[in-house]
């Protein structure tokens, strides 16, 4: 199965943070055998921003290196298909969350997130 990851889920996975749920961890680890972890470009942009602010324990370059070292990870571009999908999302979500959800919808993947607003919107299948 394929999964899209939000920012905190990815950071917590890469830093072995206990805030990552067991189900989310199992989803990440399960793709080593079958499936992919899709990282939206907007997630990478957010990691760039929050790592420079010192708000996470993993840097931007380190995140890219980890993704490139793993065969089951890929970075999804922020392209016209994602933007079109985002424009059709009616849920009241912040812009970056709409783009993450839109990426999951474009890839027909579940979203690894603990974001309650996304989960409550029922716009996309979520895992936490």
* Mean pLDDT rounded to a whole number for the chain: 95
User: Total structural domains in the chain?
Assistant: 1
pLDDT in tens, 81-123: 999 999 999 999 999 999 999 999 999 999 999 999 999 999 9
Domain that holds residue 116: 3-122
In a domain, 128, yes or no: no
Q: Is 127 within a domain?
A: no
Contact criterion met (CB below 8 Å) for 104 and 4? yes
Asked if the structure places residue 117 within a domain, the reply is: yes
Residue 58, domain member (yes or no):
yes
- Alpha helix stretches (DSSP H) within the chain: 7-14, 22-30, 41-52, 60-69, 80-87, 95-106, 116-121
Looking up residue 18, the CATH number of its domain turns out to be: 3.40.50.1010
In-domain check, residue 102: yes
3-class DSSP state of 15: coil
pLDDT confidence tier of residue 24, bands split at 50, 70 and 90: very high
Residue 72 lies in a domain: yes
pLDDT reading at 55 higher than 90: no
């Amino acid at each position: 199965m394929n999964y899209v990851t939000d920012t905190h889920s990815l950071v917590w996975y890469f830093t072995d943070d206990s805030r990552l749920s067991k189900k989310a961890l199992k989803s990440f680890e399960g793709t080593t055998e079958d499936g992919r972890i899709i990282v939206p470009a907007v997630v990478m942009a957010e990691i760039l921003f929050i790592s420079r602010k010192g708000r996470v324990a993993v840097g931007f370059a380190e995140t890219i290196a980890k993704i490139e070292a793993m065969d089951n990870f890929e970075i999804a571009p922020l392209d016209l298909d994602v933007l079109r999908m985002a424009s059709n999302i009616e849920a009241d979500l912040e812009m970056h969350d709409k783009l993450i959800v839109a990426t999951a919808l474009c890839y027909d993947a579940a979203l690894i997130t603990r974001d309650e607003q996304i989960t409550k919107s029922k716009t996309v299948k979520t895992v936490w």
